[in-house]
Chains A and B, each alone.
Chain A
Amino acid sequence: MIKAILIFNNHGKPRLSKFYEHYNEDTEQQIIRETFHLVSKRDENVCNFLEGGMLIGGSDYKLIYRHYATLYFVFCVDSSESELGILDLIQVFVETLDKCFENVCELDLIFHVDKVHHILAEMVMGGMVLETNMNEIITQVDTQNKMEKSEAGIAGAPARAVSAVKNMNLPEMPRNINIGDISIKVPNLPSFK
């Protein structure tokens, strides 16, 4: 079982946290902090397994992490998961993110937390690995995104209109439109008293 999945950056700022067991907010933050301290101390060329995340689980649990550019991807798993398998899974996760966001960077994770969660949901469900095949994951995520888009329909119209106006190419737009005196005279309405 996977107990938690954490993503934080080099400064310990959490970018995604998914706990498959309930902890209150304080504990969650403490876990993230502690995990960051454990993980950030380690060199690049040491192994990716860590024992002793005391807050989560205990002796049966391991932290398995990978460091990509500015982000740490940390999985907290118990002994029923294969260590190398989870490392592969992290790789699949990152590659999937990369495909879905086209060159994923930290900002993508900040601005599209929901999307990251949706992708994750297609890989891990309730702490158990659901799918490890990247193509399958991407297909499912894409189909759902398409559904969202098609649903946007009328509701999405205003937003689309705005973006259409923004993107409109208006070189010929006259710089100064002399419309003369168009000050609208507001009639003096009697007060409602």
Chain B
Amino acid sequence: MLGYDVSWAAFNIVEVMSSSKFTYKRIGYLAASQCFHESTDVIMLTTNQIRKDLSSPNQYDTGVALTGLSCFVTPDLARDLANDIMTLMSHTKPYIRKKAVLIMYKVFLKYPESLRPAFPRLKEKLEDPDPGVQSAAVNVICELARRNPKNYLSLAPLFFKLMTSSTNNWVLIKIIKLFGALTPLEPRLGKKLIEPLTNLIHSTSAMSLLYECVNTVIAVLISLSSGMPNHSASIQLCVQKLRILIEDSDQNLKYLGLLAMSKILKTHPKSVQSHKDLILQCLDDKDESIRLRALDLLYGMVSKKNLMEIVKKLMLHVDKAEGTTYRDELLTKIIDICSQSNYQYITNFEWYISILVELTRLEGTRHGHLIASQMLDVAIRVKAIRAFAVAQMATLLDNAHLLTGNTQRNGICEVLYAAAWICGEFSEHLENPMQTLEAMLRPKVATLPGHIQAVYVQNSAKLFATVLKSQEGDTDGTTAQEASQLMIDRLPLFVQSANLEVQERASCILQLVKYIQKLQQKDVEVAEEVCALFAGELNPVAPKAQKKVPVPEGLDLDAWINEPPSESESEDEQPKAIFAKEEPKHSRSRHTEVDEKELARRREARKQEQANNPFYIKASPSSQKVYQETPGVEHIPVVQIDLSVPLKVPGLPMSDQYVKLEEERRQKARAEKKKKEKKKRKEKRSGRGKKHDSGPESEEDIAPAHMVDIVTEEMPENALPSDDDERDPADPHKALDIDLDNLVESAGRRPLADSEKLPVRSHRAVEVQKSPVEDGERENAASQEPKKKSSKEKKEKKKDKDRDRKKSKEEKKKKKHKHEEKEEDLLGDQTDEPVVQSEETSEVAAPPTSTSAEVSDLDFWLSNAPLPSNTQEVATAVASAAEAAPEPGAPSVMAPDSEPDEPKDTEMEEPKSSKHKKKKQKKEKEDKEKKKKKKHHHHHHHSDEGGEESVQNGTVEEEEEPLPPMSNYCLLAENTYIKMMMEDADEVYDIQGNLQDGSQVVVSVIFENKCDSFLKSMEFNVLDSLNSKLQRPEGSGPHDGLVVPFQLPPGVSNEARFVFTVQSIVMPQKLKGTLTFIVKNEDSSTHEKLDFKLHFTCTSYLITTPCYSDAFAKLLESGDLKSSSLRLEGVNMPFHHLLARICFHHHFSVVERIDSCASMYSRSIQGHHVCLLVKTSGQTVSVDAKCDEPTLLGNVLDEIKQTFSQC
């Protein structure tokens, strides 16, 4: 923090973070965001604190926690908090929503598994009413899509809509940038985009937006490689706009203009080339970044025709440039420009060589080796140029003193390395080898870096051989003898060199020359043998050749050849990579091969020696090029010569004259051609005639001055093709490459699997509809829909089959609502928005069969087809398309929540009696019926299964009349928005072996949306009493509400379960609670609340437990039970109904029934036995009861009484 290490205070920061005061909390989080990172160990202590703050009622607590978390989120935190943040994404306050949406990106990065479950909601946020949230969602999706664009292609229609409707420039820029990333994947998208983008370009006043539009149009044009007729118009528009940007006085715009221009250049170089003047102007700009950009542009603009001209301009700039960095940049650019794509644009290599030679005049450049390697490359690969190159190099060597002025500081002497080598290797082209030999053996050479001296020595030997050979025929061998004398005189200087390489080569050659001299004095012909030393030709080898040599079969490079040597020995081994380039050539004579090998061996030995010698600076083993190493330069005493006079190497041809020459040559060629043309007019080839008269010659016309054959670099046979551009495996974005399409529309494809769900710690939502009966009925209901919607209906039914049968009828209805709305929307759009219209019409044209899949949906969004005339058709097609289009809403959100509950449900039900199961089923059925008819929870109609359901232990006779259906659900509270119904704690179960008789009660509450708005962010809160407490997730306070894990679309109901802990069960309990929720419709969202009272009756603590009559008798006999009795008057119902009621409402089971007398049994969750003896005579029912807990018994009886007084 502030540049100091404060990791020691990490724990204190956590303490401050957990302060209850906002002031301190804010400071704590700020400190944490500044200095926490993934390896901070106290971070794991913060999880609960952050969770608490996230669910804090104060929005700023939440905001501060989100901001802090965004800076130090770790994979663990992301995993633990993903679900909490997900909930916050639908918070009431836009301030929190936008922060939660943004932070999701960080969570995705750290915990990629969360992307799939969170994506539907993220998508939903794209259409959030708050522009800030919308912008945040766009931001996150753009970041995601930038790395893995293909997964987000399906969102294109949505973004397209946003683009045409949004006015927020920030959002627009992001969307347009995103489209830029998407278009390469889907060219059709590009076609759609061009029009609105050009409109934007014309209309917008914001430069930033204009620039991004141009950028994306360029991307589109690049992706549309096949020409569209009106392409050139868009290109022209872009180039024009860019020209305006470049001509602007604002340097920023100029810079960006050039940047965008370079993108156009790649695909449409022609249209940029017309602005060459402008770009060359930019080279004079005082701003370095602009000059560099302009240079980049020039790189792409050159052609055979203008290369010389451009390079000439650049050379002028080289002279003018003051800063070395910029000059170096210019130098590399010149070389890049010339050498690009295998010297494609160079027509005259003599010119290029002279350019290179001119570049050597640069003082203090770092890029001497670059020039040197170019010289070598050209000389080796362009055979025709060798003679010229050698001549130039000889002059260079002659004037070496000019280059070596400040050896220490300047890297230009590297050029001499190339010069010496070229002169030596191609010495047969030398006019005066003797003179060059003399130049190479000057005493001043000893001041050069060691590796250059070594090359000098070696090549002087080559030159010597040439001299001998040329003098062979002569009768007087004076020149030859002079040469050997010269060698013998000068070489001792090198023998004394501090550089071992030089020393060894020199002493070797010295001995050789001495021997030759002896032979010469005996008049023996030696030239032949000496030349044989250097015979053979060197071929260029591709840089990657070594890498591409395939490993022969059966060769394990990792296996030891011998037993692994001891530590000290292995240290001595040096990588052999240095010699990768010097593979012996087949064409070389055996003689030299041995020599080379020998040399290599010795060099190796020397390297080892150097490596072990502390006085040597080790060369980095990775450097491939020998001449890049400069070991031992420091040891050479250098006399510094200050050369302030501009360098001009005398006798060097200036490149300018080549430009003139070239001009002349071309003129001549043109004239000649014209002549020929005239002669051959009749047999003129197709379409070339008039061009020549009009002046400008086309590219192909320019013939190279020399017939150069550019030797391609050698590659080993059967080289393996290898991909070099592998992605970095450590890239965190790789993990986010997740297919999201199926999520959007769950039909048929991979839905969210259980394992993919976010870890949820809260109470569960219950899937209400799951019985098979219901499905059938749903379909029935569906077929009974009004006829006018039949066409729609068909499609929906088809889709239904695909779907997971999760959606209720209500949802369907709601969807229909939506469709209608959408339909209206579209129609509205069509009238006032021409751009949108084109989009919609294409949607309309879609064949209905393809609605099921998201991809095909995108397809017809992208396809352009004629508009059907029938408006009815239009409407239905739109509807179907809209249906297939991603739909924000409950089904996808609800489904994941409810799925895991199913197995648990059945598990819980297993121990219960069969009756209970049936009851459950019945309840569900009632539910469903309720919904179907939109009725409340009281059911007065008879159901067929009623009678069977009451059967217990086989005691109820079958002939008796059916029971009226009963519901355990009672209304909790209701207002215009929502209705809450509680199933009075039907599923009471004991937690085995828990302490202090604490028991848990599960309350199922059905929430039904009664209004036609969307209900969300429901929070369920209960004021705890001493006895009963709502179980809240760890870390939340005693007054925090519980988030209901689903949202309710209009007309839909769903069930949630809440767990309460109860201390004592002998008394009934009443708890006050509130439900808060957001009512959201198209234009507004309001915060609403609903108060309710939860009533825990004593019977709700009873569990239906079957009991056999003998056990029952034993229990009664034991005498531990206190008894109590109850008389009910005026009960007018059959006895079996009465029993069924008691069983159903009070969780008893019938033990035995004899005529109008029955014994019943139940057990409380804390193990109290409750026994009843029910007798009826006429309208009077007497209940005698026994229980080991009198208070409980009294209360249960009261409740029974109440049950019957109600009917």
Contact = CB atoms under 8 A, between A and B. Distances in A.
A17 B252 contact: no
A151 B170 CA distance: 36
B252 A49 contact: yes
Nearest to A25: B5
A138 interface: no
B571 interface: no
B984 interface: no
B132 A136 contact: yes
Contact of B22 (A18, A49, A148): A148
A5 to B, nearest CB: 12
A30 B290 CA distance: 26
A45 B251 contact: yes
B3 A25 contact: yes
Contacts of A46: 251, 286-290
B4 interface: yes
B276 to A, nearest CB: 21
Interface residues of A, number: 47
B67 A125 contact: yes
A59 interface: no
A34 interface: no
Contacts of A136: 132
Contact of A51 (B95, B146, B208, B289): B289
Contacts of A29: 3
Given A22-B38, A118-B30, A151-B23, A125 B99 contact: yes
Contacts of A130: 98-99, 102, 132, 136
Interface stretch (B137-145, B355-363, B704-712, B823-831): B137-145
A84 B211 contact: yes
A100 interface: no
A82 B170 CA distance: 9
Contacts of B169: 85
Interface in A11-66: 14, 17-18, 20, 22, 25, 28-29, 32, 43, 45-51
By secondary structure, the B interface counts as helix
Contacts of B136: 128, 130
Interface string B281-292: 000001111100
Given A48-B252, A130-B98, A125 B70 contact: yes
B437 interface: no
B348 to A, nearest CB: 34
Contact of A114 (B30, B105, B143): B30
Interface string A120-150: 0100011111111100100010011001100
B22 A83 contact: no
Nearest to A24: B5
A84 B256 contact: yes
Contact of A82 (B66, B177, B287): B177
A87 B3 CA distance: 26
Interface string A93-124: 00000000000000000000110011001000
B102 A125 contact: yes
B287 A1 contact: no
B919 interface: no
B213 to A, nearest CB: 11
Nearest to B37: A22
A148 B169 CA distance: 34
B252 A128 contact: no
Given A14-B3, A148-B23, A121 B255 contact: no
A48 B254 CA distance: 11
B1078 to A, nearest CB: 21
A20 B251 contact: no
A85 B173 contact: yes
A92 to B, nearest CB: 10
B71 interface: yes
B211 A118 contact: no
A32 B3 CA distance: 10
Contact of B23 (A125, A133, A152): A152
Contacts of A127: 70
Given A130-B98, A131-B98, A151-B21, A125 B103 contact: yes
A28 B3 contact: yes
A25 B37 CA distance: 12
A24 to B, nearest CB: 8
Contacts of B67: 121, 125-126
Chain B contact residues (Cβ within 8 angstroms of A): what range? 35 or more
A48 B95 CA distance: 32
Contacts of B142: 80
Contacts of B95: 140
Nearest to A155: B21
A82 B99 contact: no
Nearest to B215: A82
Nearest to B210: A84
A29 B3 CA distance: 7
B2 interface: yes
Nearest to A49: B255
A118 B26 contact: yes
A47 B251 contact: yes
A131 B139 CA distance: 11
A125 B136 CA distance: 10
A144 B60 contact: yes
B594 interface: no
A81 to B, nearest CB: 9
A22 to B, nearest CB: 4
B648 to A, nearest CB: 32
Contacts of B2: 14, 17, 113
Nearest to A20: B71
A32 B2 CA distance: 11
Nearest to B211: A84
B139 A129 contact: yes
A82 B174 CA distance: 8
A117 B30 CA distance: 8
B3 A147 contact: no
Given A14-B3, A126-B70, A43 B286 contact: yes
A153 B5 CA distance: 33
Nearest to A1: B143
Contacts of B71: 20, 126
Nearest to A51: B289
Contact of B170 (A17, A32, A87, A132): A132
A189 to B, nearest CB: 40
A141 to B, nearest CB: 10
A152 B218 CA distance: 57
Interface in B216-263: 251-252, 254-256
Contact of B102 (A32, A83, A128, A151): A128
B224 to A, nearest CB: 22
B720 interface: no
B26 A82 contact: no
A18 B33 CA distance: 9
A71 B70 CA distance: 27
A119 B1161 CA distance: 68
B26 A49 contact: no
B736 to A, nearest CB: 14
A171 to B, nearest CB: 36
A95 to B, nearest CB: 16
A47 B27 contact: no
Closest 3 CB pairs of A and B: A126-B70, A84-B208, A22-B37
Interface of A: 1, 14, 17-18, 20, 22, 25, 28-29, 32, 43, 45-51, 80, 82-85, 87-88, 113-114, 117-118, 121, 125-133, 136, 140, 143-144, 147-148, 151-152
Interface of B: 2-5, 21-23, 26-27, 30, 33-34, 37-38, 60, 63, 66-67, 70-71, 73, 95, 98-99, 102-103, 105-106, 132, 135-136, 139-140, 142-143, 146, 169-170, 173, 177, 207-208, 211-212, 251-252, 254-256, 286-290
17 contacts: A14-B2, A25-B4, A25-B5, A29-B3, A45-B286, A46-B251, A51-B289, A80-B177, A84-B208, A85-B169, A85-B208, A88-B208, A114-B30, A127-B70, A128-B136, A140-B95, A147-B23
Given A46-B289, A50-B289, A131-B132, 5 more contacts: A82-B208, A126-B70, A133-B132, A144-B26, A148-B26
